[in-house]
Chain A
Amino acid sequence: MKNRLAQYFGNRLSALRRDEGFVVMSTLAIFLFIFILCAFVYAVGETIHQRIKIQNACDAAAYSAAVVQADGLSRMAVVNRAMSWSYVQMTNRQMDYITYRWLKLTCKHFQEDKDNAEKYNANLVLAADKELGYWALLEAAVSGAISIIFDLDCSGRNGTSKKIVHVAHGEEGHGWWCGLDVEDRKGHVIRLNHPKNEKFVNAVVTSALETVTDMLTTHENIQKVVSLFGFIDSDDSPDGWGERLGKLIDYDKFNINNLNNALPRINNQMTASMRMTAESILKSMLVDSRLDVSDALKDYYISIHIPEGVDPYQDVEQRSAAPKSFFSPLHNTEAEEMLFLNMATAKSASKSLPDHFPILGPDGLACGLDQWFIRGKGLYSDGEDHSCDSHPLSVSFAESPDFHQATMIRDEGMLGIQRIYKDSNLNENGAGFLATERMKQVGVHPAQYIRHSSNFSALPQCCKDACERFHNGSTNEYWIAEHPVYAKVPDEKKAVWRGNHLIDFLNITNNLTNVAKGFLSNNSVSINDNMSQKGAVEDRLKEIHDSQLPPGSNDPYTSPLDKEKDKGTTGFFKDEGNQEKMNAGGADPSLVESGVGKIANAISNVLGNMLGNFLDIHPSCENEPKLDYAKYPMCETIKDPTSALYSEYRWGSGKWICATKGLTYLLCLAFDHPYIYCDYPSGELEIDFGLVSFDIDVDGYLHLGWPKWFCGNEPSGFHVIPPLIPRSISGRHGYMKNNMTDLLTGGFIRPMKPLWGNEKDRTFSRQEYECCAMFFDGITDCAVPIMGLVTWPGLIRGHARIYGDDKEIYNNRYVGAKCKPWVLNERFFAGDGTIVIGAAMKHTNPLVQLMNFWNSNAGTQADADTTVLSAFNIPQGNYMWTMSAARAGVRHTRRNGEFDQERQYQITYDSTSDPENLLYGSSYVFSQKDDSGDKGSWVHPVTWGGTHDDNPNSLSRYYNPSKKQTEVPIWNGCPCGRNAIQFRNLWNLCETDWDATLIPLRYAGQKAVLYTGGDSSDEKGKGQPFNELSYSERSEFAGNADNNNKVGKGENWVWSSPSLTDNPFVMNGWKPAKTSFFADLAYENLPGPLTTLYSTLKKDGLNLNSNVPTGKKEQTIDVFTILKDRIL
C-alpha cells in the first residue's frame, strides 16, 4: 500500500516535471474565473436592465391611468362649471319670469282699479256735450279722471271765443271738450284768446293724447318694464314672450338635470378607462418581442389599484360625517353656494355675488337665494332733466293726523313694478317687511337755526342728529339742516293695504260748495243741457244707480237735477237765465262780490251733495276697514306683509274741475291782478282761464283743490294760463304763497312754462310735463282766511301693492333644478385617489443568483433583503418587483389671482381649498418633527378667521380663535379678506386643468388626511382623523391655535402613515400577469389607499416568505414596511 502511494505521488511529481497538461488546466482555471467575473458583470447589467424595464412599465401604466383620471376630472370640472352657469342663468330667467307674471298680475289689478276709478269718477261729470260721455283726464297709471265742466256754453261761441281750455282727451276718443276746433266749437269752452296759442293748444292736445295713450296703459315705469318683455302675452300664447322665457327655463332645468347625470357617468367611464389603460400599458411594455407572446407574461405578476369614487349624492350624510369617498357633495349652505356660484366665473379673481347678479342692490352682499331680489331701477330727477323718463312717479303721501297716509319719498327706488322676493332685507324708509320696528318718513323738518342750547335740547332727536355747531363749537348756536322725520309705524299699520287712499273729498266739497253756492245763486250756470244729453253724466249716474240696486229692487233713478231742485238749491243745474246773461257776455257784478272762496265753496257744495248722494266717499281706505271691497277693490287690504312677493304701482285719479268763465272773470275782478288776463276790452267777457291750480304744501303754499299736473314731490301745475304770466315764482310750479303779499306780488297763477316767447317754451310736450299724473293736491292745513278755505284735502290717489307669494301665480317654472356638483375632498389628495401599479418579474437569468452573494448577519426581518440588488428584490425568491404611484394634479388658475406657473400641478391637500373648510376659513400649521424620531411630519397649514371684520353690522362672520368664541363659526359670506383665499384656491372640481403626475409612493400610503396628532394620553386616544371630527370639534382644535399655529391642544396636525395594526387593509394580492389581462378584472377594491402590499406572489404556490434563519415559522413580509421609507 505504501509503495503504491509512493509510486502514485512520484508519478505525479514526475508528471509535473514533465509539464504535461499544466497549461491547459491552468488556462481553464483562469478562464473559468474570468468567465465568472464576466458573468457577474453581465448579471448585474441584465438585472438592472430588467429592473428598469418593469419600473418603466409601472411608471407608464400609472402615468397613463393618471392621464385618464386627469381627463375625467377635467371633464367633471367643466360639467360643474357649466352647471353653475346654467344655474345662474336659470335663476336669472326665473326672476324675469316671475316678475313677468307678477307684472301681468299687477297690470290686471291696475286695469281693474282703473276701471273702477273711472266709474267712480264718472259721476262727477256734470256737463258735457252729447258727444262726450265722461272724460278720462290725463293721468299716470290712473283711472279715469273726470272733468267737471261748468259753464258749458260751448254753443254759440262759434267764432267768438278764442280761448281754449285744455281738456283732457277722453279715452273714448272724444275730442276736446267742445272740440278744439275753433271753427266748430260746441261752446262750453273757454278758449285762449291768443291765436298763436292754437299751436300751443294743439301741441297740448297732441302731447296730451300721447300722454293719455301712454299713461292709460300703465304707469310710466311699468310701461318701461313691460316694454322689456316685449309684450304681455297670455300664457297660452306659444309665441309670447312669457312662454318663450318659460321654455328657456325648462331648457335650463333640463340641462342641469343632464349635467347632474353626466357626472356619475364620467366617473364610471373614467374608472373603467383607467383600469384598461393601465393593463394595456403594462402588457405592451412587459412583453418581450423576442419571446412567444403567449408565454411572455408567464414570468410576471401585476397588481393594479385604481381608485374608484362613489357618487356623493347617493347617500348624502350629515355634513359632519366623514366622507365615504373622495367625492363630496356640495351642501346646501351659504358658503358652499357661494363656492358653487364662483365656479361660474372665468375671472381669475374671486367673483362677488353682484357679479353674478348685477341687479342686486347697493349692498351687493346678499347671499343666498332668499335674498336675491330685483330692485327697481329708480329714476331720479337730477333737477335739470325734466323729462318724464327721468322722473319717477313720485307721489307724496303726506302723513298727517288727518290722512294717515304713508309717505314715499322719491329716492326710494321703488318704481313701477318692483318685486321683492321672500324675506328681503329691503327697507322701506327704514322699515323692512320683517323689521321689528318699522319707521316711515312722516315729514320733513325745515332747516332752522337755534341759538340757545335750551332750545336745542328741546328738539327731537332727529333734529339733533342733523345739527351742526357754529362758531367753533359753540354750544349755543346750532344750525339744523333740513332733514326727514320718521315715525314709528304702529303695528296695526304694518299691513300694507292696497289701493286707493281716498282723500277727504268732502272737505273740498264743503268748502267749494259754499262758495259755489254763493256764486251760483246769483250767477247760475246751466249745464242742464249737458246733463240731459245722452251719454253724458245723466246716463252715467243712472247706470251707477241701477248697478247699486239690491237684487229685486226697483228703485227708479231720479236725476240729481231734480233732487237739487227739490232741495231748492240753486246752482249749476238751473236758471237758464244766468246762462243767457253769460252768453251775452256781460259781466255779472255778483261775481265780484262772491270771491273765489265762495265760488269754490259753491262748487264744492254741489259736488259734495251730488257725490254724497251717489257715492260713498270715504276719506281713506285705511280709515274704513269695513269697506266693501267688492265695491272698492282698490281698497283691498293685504294683511300679510311677509309674503314672498309684492309688486306695486302707483296711480292716481284726479278730479278736474274747470272753472267757468265766470270764475275766471271773478278772479280778474277780484284781484285785478296783472297776471290774470282779463281781456274784455270789447266788453265781452273774454276770460283767459284754464285750469287754475293752487297748492298748499308744507311750505304753506296755498292750494286750491284745482286739478293740475302733478309731478314729483312738488305738485306741479300745468296750467293753461293766460300768456301774460311770465314767470314761475320761486321755481315752483303752480304755487302761490299763502300770504297776501305773495298773492299780489308772487303771482296768483303761475304757469309751468311761459306761454310766450319761443315756441319751445310754449310747448307742453310730454317731456315737459315732468310727470304723468294729474291730481288734486291738497295736503295739509292751510288757512287762507281771505278765501275762507281751511283745509284742502288731497286727491284721490294711491299706490297699489299686490302682495302674495308665488303660489298665487305659481307654475312649475318657479322651481328650479337642483344642482349636484361633485367636489373633491381631502381624501383624494391623501391617497384615496392614487393609482398604484405594481409589477414583479422573475429572474430568469441563473447568473442573477450570483447577485445573492452578499449576506449580512442573520436574525432580522430584512435579512433576506441583503443582496446587492436588494433594493428591488422581493425578499427571498427569484422575483424582482417594483411599484409606481400616480395621481392627477390640479393647476390653479386662481391662486393669487394669477395663473400658476405653467405645468405646475398641485398634488397635495390644501385645506384652504376645501369647501368645508370655508366654514372656518383656513389656518396654517407649520411642520415640525415629532418625538418619535421620525424624519418629521409635515402638517397641513390651516388658518382661521374670515375678514376679521369686527363690524357687527356687516355680513362678515368669522371665528376668531384668539378670542375663543363659542359661537358656531359661520362663514364669511363676503368674497373678501381672507376668505378670498378660498375663492382663489378652489381646487375642487371647478378647475379644468388637471394633469397626471407621478408621486412618491408614500403619498399613496397615507390614510385620509389629517390626524389631530394627539398621543395616547390624549383623551381622544391616539388622535383622530380630522375628517371624522364634528365641526365643533374641529373648531375646538382650531381654537387652540397659538402663535406658532399649533392646534389640537398643542399638537400639530400630522399626516399619518398607518401601521399594520392601524390600518389592516385588505391585501390586494398579486395576480399572475398572464391570466389577469383582460380576463380577470375582479380586482378587489381596497377600502382605502394602498398602504400595505402583502404579497402572496405565487407561481404555482410561490410564497413571499422570509427565510428567517432563527425562526422556523414563516411570516408574511410586509413589503410596504420595507418600502415605505424608500425613495423609489
Chain B
Amino acid sequence: MTLKEEHGSILLEAVLVLPIFVLIVFFVIQMTFVWTAKQMTYYAAYCGARAALVYNPSDYKAEQQDDGSWKTNGFVREGVVHEAACTVLSWISWSLAGQDIGGLGIAHMANDLLNFRIGLYGVPLSSNIHNQVSVEVCEFEKIEDADAKTSGKQEQASVEEQFPAVTVRVRFRCPLFIPLGGMVVAYFYGARDSVPEEMSSWLTRDAVGVSGFTGAHGDIVHANLAARGNYTKSGNISYYSMVLEESCTMAKPYKTDTYPLIPQ
C-alpha cells in the first residue's frame, strides 16, 4: 500500500467534517426557525397595532400621558394588544409554563388545558406564551420639538402636534430548541450583558445553567439562556432563547371612547 491510494479519503474527510457540517446544518435549521420567528414577530406587531387601532387605549393597558398621548409605560403582558401578539406567536411558542396542575407534579406537554387557547382549541406547546411576549403600545406620541430642546424651551407640543399613529413594539422570546444549533445562535445572539428588567424575573426563576458556558458573566449568560419552562419528568431541561423585537406603526387619526368601559 502506498500514499497514492486514496481509497476512503472522502469518507475519512466526511467523518472529519461531519461534526462541523452537522453543526452548520443545525445552525441553518435553527436560523430558519429564527427567521420565521422574526417574521412572525413582525406580524404579531402588526396584529397588535391593528388591535390598538380598533380598541380603546384603556383596553390595552395604556395610560394617558400628560401630553394626551397613550403609552403602556413599558412592556406589558396584559391587554388586548398583548393578546393579539400572543395569538400569532403561540404557534411558535414551543415552551411550557412551569405550572403544575392537578397536583401531579407534571407539566406535561400534552397538557392541553394550559395551552394558549384560540376559541376552544389549544395551541400545542404554548402554555408559556404569555411570558414570552411583551408589548409596548404608544399612541399619539408627542412630536418632539427639536428646536425646543436646543433652545431650552419648555413648551409642550399641542394636541395637534401629536402624531396620529399607534406604534406597537413586540418582544418575543424565541426558543432555540434545535440542538447545537440553538446553542450556537444563543451564544452569538441570545446572550446579553444586560437583561431588560421586565424579563429578568422570567429568566432568573427556575433558571438553570448551561454546561459549557461559563465565564465571568456566566451566571448572567446562564440566566439569559435559560428558558423558563422545563420538563420535570426527567429533570430540568433548559431551553436556549433569544429575544426578537419588532415594531409596527399604523396610522390612527382618531381615538375611540367606549362607553361604558369594557371590563378586562
Contacts and interface: CB of A to CB of B under 8 A. Distances in A.
Tell me, yes or no, whether A binds B: yes
B103 interface: no
A618 to B, nearest CB: 73
B263 A40 contact: no
Given A19-B11, A37-B32, A903-B164, A939 B55 contact: no
Given A904-B255, A999-B256, A1000-B54, A1121 B119 contact: yes
A725 to B, nearest CB: 79
Nearest to A924: B260
B7 A936 contact: no
A927 B263 contact: yes
* Interface magnitude class on chain A: 35 or more
Contact of B91 (A870, A903, A907): A870
The majority secondary structure among interface residues of chain B is helix
B120 A862 contact: yes
Nearest to A1121: B119
A16 interface: yes
A59 B7 CA distance: 66
A997 B259 CA distance: 15
Interface string A33-44: 110011011001
Interface stretch (B41-49, B146-154, B195-203, B210-218): B41-49
A22 B10 contact: yes
Contact of A860 (B14, B54, B87, B120): B120
Contact of B50 (A30, A55, A866): A55
Contacts of A38: 32
Contact of A939 (B14, B50, B260): B260
Contacts of B55: 1000
Given A48-B42, A860-B120, A1127-B47, A871 B54 contact: no
A740 interface: no
A191 interface: no
Interface string A337-353: 00000000000000000
Contacts of B254: 889, 903, 905, 995-997
B211 to A, nearest CB: 28
Contacts of B261: 927, 938
Interface in B14-52: 14, 25, 28-29, 32, 35-36, 39-40, 42-43, 46-47, 50-51
A33 B32 CA distance: 12
A251 interface: no
A44 B40 CA distance: 8
Contacts of B50: 55, 59, 1128
B83 interface: yes
Nearest to A925: B260
Contact of A998 (B53, B84, B91, B118): B53
Contacts of B255: 901-905
Nearest to A905: B254
A1076 interface: no
Contacts of A319: none
A1126 interface: yes
Nearest to B9: A19
Interface in B86-138: 87-88, 91-92, 118-121, 124
A52 B124 contact: no
Given A44-B39, A900-B257, A997-B254, A1125 B263 contact: no
Interface in A888-933: 889, 900-910, 924, 927-929
B260 A941 contact: yes
Given A52-B46, A1000-B54, A1127-B84, A905 B256 contact: yes
A907 B255 CA distance: 10
- The CB with the most chain B CB atoms within 10 A, among A860, A924, A1000, is that of A1000
B257 A871 contact: no
A868 interface: yes
B235 interface: no
A33 B29 CA distance: 9
Contact of A910 (B46, B119, B259): B259
A868 B256 CA distance: 32
Contacts of B263: 927-929, 935-936, 938
Contacts of A861: 120
B209 interface: no
A862 B121 contact: yes
A908 B259 contact: yes
14 contacts: A30-B25, A40-B36, A41-B32, A44-B39, A860-B121, A862-B120, A903-B164, A924-B260, A938-B260, A938-B263, A995-B254, A1122-B118, A1128-B50, A1128-B84
Interface of A: 16-19, 22-23, 26, 30, 33-34, 37-38, 40-41, 44-45, 48, 51-52, 55, 59, 854, 856, 860-863, 865-866, 868-871, 885, 889, 900-910, 924, 927-929, 935-936, 938-941, 995-1001, 1121-1122, 1125-1128
Q: Rank and list the top 5 A-B pairs by shortest CB-CB distance, nearest first.
A: A862-B121, A19-B10, A1127-B84, A37-B32, A906-B257
Given A927-B261, A927-B262, 19 more contacts: A19-B6, A19-B10, A48-B43, A59-B50, A860-B120, A860-B121, A861-B120, A862-B121, A868-B91, A889-B257, A902-B255, A908-B257, A910-B259, A997-B256, A1122-B118, A1127-B47, A1127-B80, A1127-B83, A1128-B50
